[in-house]
Amino acid sequence: MKKLLLTHILFLPVVLLAQAPSGFKPVKDTSAFKQKMETQSKLIHTIESDFTQEKYLSVMSEKIISKGHFYFKKINMLRWEYNEPYNYLIVINKDKMFIKDNGKVTKYDINSNKMFKSINEMMVNTVQGNLLNNKDYKAHFYENEKQYLLELIPTQKAAKEFLKSIHLYIDKTDYAVVKVKMIEPGDDYTGIEFTNRKTNQAIADEKFIVK
């Protein structure tokens, strides 16, 4: 059940990098970048965006492409609404996780499960770009003309069980996370690209209630 759940909710890179990825170079002043990123993250209270998810599984010949709509609201509320090629819903509302599939709603207590808690913290912090000073991850910083690229490698055993690394692609104009990739220990990976992003617009709490 845990493995099946992870297949649906883990979203995001591809290989661990010993040197700068192609098209990127190391960031010279990481302190200045981190300070700017943290400042911008504090200004974000809500996010609404379309997303396209690409899932690679070694046991399948083709990648799985899904599309949907994403909502985020402080504090700790997320809604992943898949509408292509199927309808599927994941909602995190503080310490509860809800999954709706084929009209059936399953509820999980995040705090009762270390794995769920770790996933929840990672998801929320990733969306806001708040993983920079997290001691649970070792960070590498790269940049090109248009984007920053953060490679984050988990250091805690619980996270290493389902996650090998995270890549965050950040737009240099507004420091928004525009793309996220995650590679799992078996080299399966998921990538999510955000488009039509809107920030700090009103989102009703009802969006994070599942019935």
Classified as helix, coil or strand, 83 is strand
Q: Is residue 209 part of a domain?
A: no
Average pLDDT over residues 8-18: 40
Q: Is residue 50 part of a domain?
A: yes
pLDDT tens per residue across span 60-84: 888 999 999 999 998 889 999 999 9
φ and ψ at 72, to 5 degrees?
-135, 140
pLDDT of the residue at 128:
65
- Whole-angstrom distance, CA of residue 175 vs CA of residue 178: 9
Residue 6 above 60 pLDDT? Answer: no
Q: Is residue 210 part of a domain?
A: no
pLDDT tens per residue across span 107-135: 999 888 776 777 777 777 777 666 676 78
Scan for tokens 């396209």, then name that residue: 52
Which domain CATH number covers 36? 2.50.20.10
* 169, 147 Cβ separation under 8 angstroms: yes
pLDDT of the residue at 60:
86
Residue 206 above 90 pLDDT? Answer: yes
Q: Is residue 132 part of a domain?
A: yes
165 contact partners, CB below 8 Å, separation of at least 6: 13, 16, 151, 152, 153, 154, 182, 183
Picking from 138, 142, 137, the residue whose alpha carbon sits closest to that of residue 172 is 142
pLDDT tens per residue across span 18-64: 467 889 999 999 999 988 988 888 888 999 999 999 999 988 888 99
pLDDT tens per residue across span 141-172: 999 999 999 998 989 887 888 889 989 999 99
Q: Please name the residue ranges forming H helices in 19-153.
A: 30-42, 114-128
Q: Is residue 90 part of a domain?
A: yes
Q: Is residue 18 part of a domain?
A: no
pLDDT of the residue at 3:
46
Q: Is residue 208 part of a domain?
A: no
User: The domain containing residue 166 runs over which residues?
Assistant: 2-13+24-195
- Whole-angstrom distance, CA of residue 176 vs CA of residue 183: 21
Domain total in the chain: 1
Picking from 52, 93, 44, the residue whose alpha carbon sits closest to that of residue 69 is 52
Q: Is residue 202 part of a domain?
A: no
